[in-house]
Chains A and B, each alone.
Chain A
Amino acid sequence: MTAFLDSPRGRIVLLALRVVVAGFFFASSITALQDPSELVESIGNYRMLPDSVIGPMAVGMPLLELLVGLALVSGVHARGASLVAAGMLVVFAIAMIQAIVRGIDLDCGCFGHVVETRVSWLTVLRNVALTIASLVVVMGPDLPLWPLRPVPALNP
């Protein structure tokens, strides 16, 4: 796996995965930053957190998502950002699972009201797929700003 990710083809795969995960986080953060009160409502609908935590979370989470997206695209701390992304996606998936198990019927709030998606096993699956993609990026080589540059020989 690691050897493949070190190859030129593997690096293209890594770039693609980074762009996909970054795209998800960009879309999520931008819609949330446009209307934090909407995110407050969405987080509250999961009925997991006390009200005192929801407000600060609605401010901090989109900014962290934006930062993760920027890191993934730029390549600066991309693997660390990818680890953070994986952690966030797991937390989101747990929130969705508890909502499904408790019979709470709600919109996932992932992209505000721009794309309304009802929480279901499909949204959980999407998060699992994105988590796997993030973890693959973590396992890959520490790529510089632009991973498509000529790959130096591994054993000169």
Chain B
Amino acid sequence: MAQPSATRAVIVEALRVLVVGACLGVGYGIVAGVPTVAPRATSCAPPVATHPEIGWIEQNDARAMVDDTEVMFVDARSLSDYETGHIPNAIAMPMDTGAIDESTTALVRGVRTVIAYCDTTGECASSRRLASLLAEDGVRDVRVLRGGIPEWLSNDFPAESGPCRICP
């Protein structure tokens, strides 16, 4: 790489790779078509593609379930975020490690509906991951809160702060 000619040769090679790649892309696009972006706001796609049984739950529907003892909210954010503010009676299930243990799952196994949420209004990976793990552990009727905690707070829905009282 020390000589300018060698540098030039590498750049020419890179350009050739890019041109061939672009040609392949155009060809593939013509033959197979170009996928389109689904409108985000009206998307009905399930939150977890591999678990179509997991559905979204809208903010107002979730709000109506806050006082329902058969419904459990699970918070996928970090413990410190949870302690700063969370949905009343929610259980902290931080996805820092990307895993949950059986004692955690046992807390929600008996309830009718579990609603996972985290801190992003759009595609929140943590809540979808948590919902996926809970479904794999046999928990039925798991939902993901569309809009997460930011939208919940902007709606002026109830929230509380402090440590988790019944977490494992």
Q: Which of A82-97 contact B (CB under 8 A)?
A: 83-84, 87
Chain B contacts for A38, CB-based, 8 A: 49
Asked if A67 and B17 make an inter-chain contact with CB atoms under 8 angstroms apart, the answer reads yes
Asked if A37 and B10 make an inter-chain contact with CB atoms under 8 angstroms apart, the answer reads no
A8: CB under 8 A from chain B? no
Asked if B14 and A105 make an inter-chain contact with CB atoms under 8 angstroms apart, the answer reads no
A23: CB under 8 A from chain B? no
Asked if B49 and A106 make an inter-chain contact with CB atoms under 8 angstroms apart, the answer reads no
Chain A contacts for B25, CB-based, 8 A: 56, 59-61, 63-64
Interface size class of A (residues with CB under 8 A): 35 or more
Asked if A36 and B35 make an inter-chain contact with CB atoms under 8 angstroms apart, the answer reads yes
Chain B contacts for A37, CB-based, 8 A: 35
A125: CB under 8 A from chain B? no
0 or 1 for each of B129-140: is its CB under 8 Å from A? (1 = yes): 100000000000
Asked if A40 and B118 make an inter-chain contact with CB atoms under 8 angstroms apart, the answer reads no
A80-B11 in contact given A58-B35, A59-B28, A63-B25 (Cβ < 8 Å): yes
Complex alpha-carbon distance, A106 and B47, angstroms = 12
Asked if A105 and B126 make an inter-chain contact with CB atoms under 8 angstroms apart, the answer reads yes
B165: CB under 8 A from chain A? no
Q: Which of B109-134 contact A (CB under 8 A)?
A: 118-120, 122-126, 128-129
Complex alpha-carbon distance, A15 and B8, angstroms = 22
A44-B37 in contact given A113-B49, A118-B125 (Cβ < 8 Å): yes
Asked if B37 and A51 make an inter-chain contact with CB atoms under 8 angstroms apart, the answer reads yes
Closest to B7 in A: A138
Asked if A103 and B125 make an inter-chain contact with CB atoms under 8 angstroms apart, the answer reads no
Asked if B24 and A138 make an inter-chain contact with CB atoms under 8 angstroms apart, the answer reads no
0 or 1 for each of A4-28: is its CB under 8 Å from B? (1 = yes): 0000000000000000000000000
Complex alpha-carbon distance, A67 and B25, angstroms = 11
Complex alpha-carbon distance, A105 and B121, angstroms = 9
Q: Which of B89-115 contact A (CB under 8 A)?
A: 95, 98
B64: CB under 8 A from chain A? no
B1 to chain A, nearest CB (A): 5
Contact of B14 among A40, A55, A59, A80 (CB under 8 A): A80
Complex alpha-carbon distance, A106 and B28, angstroms = 28
Complex alpha-carbon distance, A44 and B36, angstroms = 11
Chain B contacts for A44, CB-based, 8 A: 37, 40
Contact of B35 among A55, A81, A87, A104 (CB under 8 A): A55
Chain A contacts for B24, CB-based, 8 A: 60, 63-64, 67
Asked if B2 and A63 make an inter-chain contact with CB atoms under 8 angstroms apart, the answer reads no
Chain B contacts for A71, CB-based, 8 A: 17
Mind listing 22 A-B residue pairs with CB under 8 Å?
A36-B32, A36-B35, A40-B35, A44-B37, A45-B122, A47-B122, A54-B37, A55-B37, A58-B35, A59-B32, A60-B25, A63-B25, A63-B28, A64-B24, A67-B21, A67-B24, A84-B21, A105-B120, A105-B123, A107-B128, A138-B10, A142-B6
